[in-house]
Every structure is written in C-alpha cells, then in structure tokens.
Amino acid sequence: MAKLTWLGHSAFLLEGNNRILFDPFLSGNPVAKVKPSELKVDMVCVSHGHGDHVGDSVEIAKMNKAPIAAVFELAVRFDGRGAKTEQLNMGGSVRVLDSDVRMVNAIHSSDVFEGDNLVTGGSPGGFIVESGVTVYHAGDTGYFGDMKWIGEFYKPKIALLPIGDRFTMGIREAAYAASVIRPEVVVPMHYGTFPLINQEPAKFEEEVGKMTDGRVRTKIMKVGETIDV
C-alpha cells in the first residue's frame, strides 16, 4: 500500500517504497499548507524548468541529501546550485533506492528568465514512477497521442493530470486523456492556484465519467489531503 498527498498545484508526495516528491512549488504558493523544511523525502522529481514546478526543489533536496531527477539541461542547473542530481532524458529511467523513475514526453515549454537572460530548462516531461504503485505524473502538458501508449505500456494505477487550461490541458482534454490512459484513478492537478487557472473539478469528474463509461474513477483531492493508492 502506498500513500499520495497533494501539496497544491502540481506538487505531490508519493510514499511507496520510498518518499518521492513531485514539482515542489511551496514557497510563494498561495494554497500550499506545508513548508519545505517540514518534508522528509528520498527523491525529488522536477518535470520542467518553470518556477511553479522547480519551486523549492533545490532547498528540499539539500536538506534531505536527496537527488533531483530532471531532464539533463535542468539537472545541470541544479548541479550548479549544489544539489545532487539524477540526469535523465525522454524515455530514460533511473533506479533510486527501491523505486524506478522514468521520464516521458510532455507538450509544453521549459525555458525561464534569470534576470534579463532566457535560460534553457531542457525538454518538458512527465514521470512514470514505480514505487509500490505505478503513478503517472503528466507535468504541464497538452494532450498528445502517445498518452494512449503510456497507458497501454506502463499501465499506471494513478494518473495525475493538469486541468487548469490556459497553460495546459483543460477539463475536456484532460478527461479525454484519462479515457485513453485508463488508469484506475485519475487525480486533477494544476488548477485553483491562481485566478487564470481556476476550474471546477466536479466538471472534470463528470466528463471523465462520460468518456470512460465510469471505468475510470476520479479522485478530487483537497490540498494537504492524503489518500491510499
């Protein structure tokens, strides 16, 4: 049995074989309820270079002496800030302790401004993590056809999908993604943090039910909530 906690936005803590933290945007996050110093983790996974996903990853990784898994270019930046990293690229994987972490595609952007300079964040991605349970964290993405392959090949039990629209999939697109991935449970994320991405998750649950004939269950989590998965 594993546990999953939503920390707000796209940040989740998976407690399976190990404690794996995704996209820890906590400081400056208006809905986050936990401080970086309160987290105990074995690994941090960062999907892409935008600040609302990199968040407190370096600080948390250093405090816990834990590696950050990220695409090569982003991992090099983290190396330069003194963090231990596991460099990855799309389709590649790494085993840390008793967990397997693999990067998969996402359709988004990843570059960021540091002062007046535009700095590369490498390719945006998502993660397939096998740690007592198989979880698909899609990162920030629009829908893409290989989501069907991700579902067929990796068979994630849990899919964490953005529904905020504007910068990622919206409700209908994410519900369709759930219908082709076909996890047991889909959890909406990347919504409600800021006015531009306010959404009604109950509408997402309704769309998922329609598109999957009830075969995929939607779990609408509250920030700070922990569920068994």
Whether residue 188 lies inside any domain: the answer is yes
Residue 51 pLDDT exceeds 90:
yes
pLDDT-derived band at 101 (thresholds 50, 70, 90) equals: very high
The predicted model gives 191-218 an average pLDDT of 98
pLDDT value of position 25: 98
> What is the tally of structural domains in the chain?
1
pLDDT value of position 81: 96
Whether residue 2 lies inside any domain: the answer is no
Whether residue 24 lies inside any domain: the answer is yes
Q: In 3D, which of 32, 40, 44, 136 has the Cα closest to residue 88?
A: 44
Whether residue 105 lies inside any domain: the answer is yes
Whether residue 219 lies inside any domain: the answer is yes
The CA–CA distances, whole Å, from 6 to 22, 171, 179, 185, 221 equal 10, 19, 22, 14, 7
Distance, in Å, from the CA atom of 104 to the CA atom of 35, rounded to the nearest integer, reads 29
Whether residue 181 lies inside any domain: the answer is yes
Whether residue 58 lies inside any domain: the answer is yes
Distance, in Å, from the CA atom of 72 to the CA atom of 133, rounded to the nearest integer, reads 26
Quote the mean pLDDT of the chain: 97
Distance, in Å, from the CA atom of 166 to the CA atom of 159, rounded to the nearest integer, reads 20
161: phi then psi, degrees, rounded to nearest 5 = -120, 135
CA 29 to chain centre: 16
| pTM (global) more than 0.95 | yes
pLDDT value of position 115: 87
Give the domain range for residue 105: 10-228
CATH of the domain at 193: 3.60.15.10
What is the per-residue DSSP string for 16-84? SSSEEEE----TT-TT--S-GGG---SEEE--SSSHHHHTTHHHHHHHHT-PEEEEHHHHHHHHHTT--
pLDDT value of position 154: 98
Whether residue 166 lies inside any domain: the answer is yes
Residue 180: Cβ-neighbour burial (10 angstroms; 0-12, 13-18, 19+) = middle
